[in-house]
Amino acid sequence: MAQRLKQAAVFVGVILVALGVSVGTTAQAQVRGVTDTEVTLGVILDYTGPYKSAGVLITEAFNAYWKAVNDAGGVHGRKVKIIYEDNGASPKMGLTAANKLVYKDGVFGILGSIGSAATVVLFDLVEKEKVPMLPIAYPRKMYDPVKRYVFMASAPYAIQAARAIDYIFDDKKDLNAKVGIIYQDDDFGEDARNGALEAMKAWGKTPAAQEAFPRGTTDFRSAVLNMKRADVDYIIIGAAVREAAGIVREAKLTRFKGQIMGIDPSLGPPLFSLAKEAAEGYLGASSFATLGEDVPAWGNLKAALQKYEKKTFNFYHVFGLANSVVYHEGLKRAGRNLTPDTLVAALESLRDFDSGGVLPPVTFTATKRYASKAAKIVRADVKTQDFIAVAPYQVPKAMR
Amino acid sequence: MGRTFHSSYAEEMALFQSDWARAWMAIFLALLLGVPALLGPYLLSVLNLAGVAVIGAIGLNLLIGTTGQISLGHVAFIACGGYTTAILAERFGLPFWLLIPASGCVAALIGLVVGVPSLRLEGFYLAMATLAAAFIIEYVYAHWESLTAGTTGMKVARPTLAGAPLESSLAFFYFQLPWVIGATLFAKNLTRTKVGRAWVAIRDRDISAETLGIDLTHYKLVAFIVSAFYGGVAGSLYVYYLKTVSPEHFTFALMIEYIAMLIVGGVGSILGSIFGAVFITLLPEALRLVTDLLRDDYPVLSFRFLYVKQGIYGLIIILFLLFKPDGCFGWWQDVKRYWQTWPYKHS
């Protein structure tokens, strides 16, 4: 009996010591995540869920960018350390990851968080603990109302879709065009659809047809045939690249004669490999530089990717680059006295900031947390496997 | 040494059958009440999610493990509970003590409907029917925008106690604990009643059970209702804790997690449900810990580990299926037997 009690006491003791160790790791610095020589940032990406391929590529971009920054002396003498966590695109994994980053690792801010639901769930924590963050999720509703510590390094999907509509009625002056919308029935697709509807309303138009499809759909025949039946001249797609390629392919098979237009998530290189020659002429509204554009930010990232990661450049690196450029500028402007509030003030001071060409001119205000309201129109060119700008950055009529 | 025989029916029916069991339970409860106060918010957030998972897993285990009705629709019941709480809390400002049971009841009602196919189907076909029902339910809450805000989702305020919202993870832990304990005790007792024994009889051989006079229709539907009620309560607490609800909170991956909890914990055991829920909730965090340990000295390996950790997750489940099909509960039984016969070895 005595021996068993002793064993039990040792067992309980071990548990308590283990817990004590974990409690000990939550010690706070004066400003969380900031020392004289280092700033610690967290990144929450998807490495095990539906966005895992994007997660891997965005990680490469973050690594390359900040290694280059650190090799150049860091920011105000502080090296930037990044801790990566997986959210599997799940809200509960995202929340535990953020809790770990903030309370255990003591990060200063969050450089990126992917997935809408997995990011929205962090907002209360971010606001309560003052964790400046830049999500990699662009539905407009996420940023309305404004959260003090949340900024978006892009234009929302709604604005991109609205720019596509403006391209039809403003740039092309095709005022009699009939427009249909095919969208994924999740927050991302709905945001694009809502933007398109808002823009059409601003032009006094209504869509000729609308088709929703669930995420993971591979057969778009009925959706495209319904568009043909409604005799539309333009199809606006609120979908990512795999689904957009499916729609484009189906449109070619069914001899749809109109123009198909998408938004940023549909503009990656997989469009060419999946849709082949059917991708030719596909138009997209984009708030990022395209792969082939000769902009300084691209050149720097390409060199850093080659030097630090031994990787070649990929379109999905753009999301890591855009967040990095904006956060970097915020850190620079916040100065040596870095606190969450000086960083917010620094980001709010950005007025038409030149991001090295990766984004349209960036402006944040106290009431607007997305980098820009502008998008440009690009065209898929199968020969060069790239997207070529055909209309400049412009703020859609409905959003002016 | 614990008692291995009983001299009265009361002793046999006791929930905790020896002084040792009662003493250990008292120590466990004391730790459960005392230790969280020493933990940081990160570990508390994991514990809170484990608490939700315990309730959900017990509910699923009552249906699959105890009654033998294979269901892949449990996540839809959790979603029903979550959405009921979100809608009624935000629109009518109802208090938690009304909403949590109400969420269970709404889910139970849906469970009754989903359970109807179980009267004619079993095994793989029942699994497919429940999965199809889950997809239908998902379609409803993802598209009934005027009620559920569709894919955008809704915000949910934390419950308030004496006018104060339970914002901290510690406060939520103590708020959730009685629900977890209550759900566990109820399930434990339920399995020892006429209903529980009827469920086990149905699981072991439904034709024999019917021959013995057990009303299959009644007891199968009761199993679905009770299981769904547990799912609804879990969904309510889940949404209260996360403070948001959207269709992305209730994916098929979550359903797989619950099935994994049963496999790892032990199918057909309440204690196994708890082991499984805690294990599966802690596993990603343990993998995070390994990534952290590797990060400074082996950064490349740390990244590789980050990417392959889902494979490790799958591997653990396969290893359990191959080498410990009775799950963690089997280990628990082995340990118990060892101590009961100590210092003599049992075979």
How far apart are the CA of A89 and the nearest CA of chain B, in angstroms?
8
Task: Determine contact: A152 vs chain B, CB below 8 A.
Answer: no
The pLDDT value given to residue A13: 46
Check pLDDT > 70 for residue A136. Answer: yes
Check pLDDT > 90 for residue A122. Answer: yes
The DSSP bridge partners found for residue A81 are: A40
Q: Are residues A302 and A164 in the same domain?
A: no
**CB-CB: which of A22, A120, A186 is closest to B40?**
A22
How far apart are the CA of A202 and the nearest CA of chain B, in angstroms?
23
Check pLDDT > 50 for residue A22. Answer: no
Q: Are residues A77 and A90 in the same domain?
A: yes
A27 falls within a domain: no
Q: Are residues A136 and A163 in the same domain?
A: no
pLDDT-derived band at A112, boundaries 50, 70, 90 = very high
A97 falls within a domain: yes
Q: Are residues A393 and A251 in the same domain?
A: yes
Would you kindly state where each structural domain of chain B is located, as residue ranges? Answer: 40-250, 251-347
How far apart are the CA of A90 and the nearest CA of chain B, in angstroms?
7
Q: Are residues A53 and A111 in the same domain?
A: yes
Q: Average of pLDDT values for B12-38?
A: 87
Residues of B in contact with A186 (CB under 8 A): 142, 151, 247-248
In which domain, by residue range, is A387 found? 157-286+376-399
The type of residue at A243 is E
A234: three-class secondary structure by DSSP: strand
B156 burial type by CB count under 10 A (0-12 exposed, 13-18 middle, 19+ buried): buried
pLDDT-derived band at A16, boundaries 50, 70, 90 = very low
A205 falls within a domain: yes
> Within a 13 Å sphere around the CA of B211, how many CA atoms are in the beta-carbon half?
5
Q: Are residues A185 and A305 in the same domain?
A: no
Lowest model confidence (mean pLDDT) among A4-8, A79-83, A187-191? A4-8
> Within a 13 Å sphere around the CA of B195, how many CA atoms are in the beta-carbon half?
18
The A residues from 268 to 287 touching B (CB cutoff 8 Å) are: none
Residues of B in contact with A187 (CB under 8 A): 151-153, 246, 248
Q: Are residues A133 and A164 in the same domain?
A: no
Q: What backbone torsions phi and psi does residue A109 show, to the nearest 5 degrees?
A: -150, 180
Q: Are residues A180 and A265 in the same domain?
A: yes
3-state secondary structure string across A122-150: CHHHHHHHCCCECCECCCHHHHCCCCCCE
CA distances, B222 to each of B187, B215, B218, B228 (Å): 13, 11, 6, 10
Extract the tokens encoding B321: 């299926």
Q: Are residues A204 and A137 in the same domain?
A: no
Q: Average of pLDDT values for A335-344?
A: 96
Q: Are residues A140 and A169 in the same domain?
A: no
The pLDDT value given to residue A238: 95
Residues of A in contact with B342 (CB under 8 A): 4
Structural domains of chain A, count: 2
Q: Are the beta carbons of B268 and B68 closer than 8 angstroms?
A: no
Does A59 sit within 8 Å of B303, measured CB to CB? yes
Residues of A in contact with B313 (CB under 8 A): 48
The DSSP bridge partners found for residue A39 are: A34, A80
Q: Are the beta carbons of A379 and A286 closer than 8 angstroms?
A: no
Task: Determine contact: A4 vs chain B, CB below 8 A.
Answer: yes
d(C-alpha B38, C-alpha B237), whole Å: 23
Q: Which residues contact B202 (CB under 8 A, 6 or more apart)?
A: B67, B68, B209, B214, B216, B219, B220, B223
Check pLDDT > 50 for residue B284. Answer: yes
Check pLDDT > 50 for residue A18. Answer: no
Q: Are residues A198 and A149 in the same domain?
A: no
Check pLDDT > 60 for residue A62. Answer: yes
Residue with tokens 């620094």: A346
Inter-axis angle of helices B299-323 and B252-265, nearest 10: 60
The pLDDT value given to residue A9: 47
Residues of B in contact with A56 (CB under 8 A): 307
The pLDDT value given to residue B4: 59
> Within a 13 Å sphere around the CA of B238, how many CA atoms are in the beta-carbon half?
32
Lowest model confidence (mean pLDDT) among B39-43, B157-161, B303-307? B303-307
Q: Are residues A277 and A177 in the same domain?
A: yes
Task: Determine contact: B254 vs chain A, CB below 8 A.
Answer: yes
Check pLDDT > 60 for residue A2. Answer: no
Q: Average of pLDDT values for B299-305?
A: 73
d(C-alpha A196, C-alpha A399), whole Å: 11
Does B295 sit within 8 Å of A22, measured CB to CB? no
Q: Average of pLDDT values for B97-105?
A: 96
Q: What is the CATH number of the domain that holds A308?
A: 3.40.50.2300
Residue pLDDT, tens place only, B109-152: 999 999 888 788 888 899 999 999 999 999 999 889 899 988 88
The pLDDT value given to residue A110: 98
**CB-CB: which of B27, B242, B303 is closest to A92?**
B242
A284: three-class secondary structure by DSSP: strand
Lowest model confidence (mean pLDDT) among B50-54, B64-68, B281-285? B281-285
Q: Average of pLDDT values for A353-376?
A: 95
Q: Shortest CA distance to B110 belongs to which of B286, B231, B198?
A: B231
The A residues from 62 to 91 touching B (CB cutoff 8 Å) are: 83-86, 88-91
How far apart are the CA of B40 and the nearest CA of chain A, in angstroms?
6
Does A96 sit within 8 Å of B309, measured CB to CB? no
Task: Determine contact: A381 vs chain B, CB below 8 A.
Answer: no
How far apart are the CA of B27 and the nearest CA of chain A, in angstroms?
10
The B residues from 58 to 77 touching A (CB cutoff 8 Å) are: none
Residue pLDDT, tens place only, A223-280: 999 999 999 999 999 998 889 999 999 999 999 999 999 999 898 888 999 999 999 9
A31 falls within a domain: no
Q: Shortest CA distance to B312 belongs to which of B331, B293, B294, B286?
A: B286
Task: Determine contact: A242 vs chain B, CB below 8 A.
Answer: no
Q: What percent of chain B has pLDDT over 70?
A: 97
Helix and strand element counts for chain B (H, E): 15, 4
Task: Determine contact: A306 vs chain B, CB below 8 A.
Answer: no
A324 falls within a domain: yes
A124 falls within a domain: yes
A12 falls within a domain: no
Residues of A in contact with B40 (CB under 8 A): 22-23, 25-26, 103-104
Residue pLDDT, tens place only, B181-212: 999 999 999 999 999 999 999 999 989 999 99
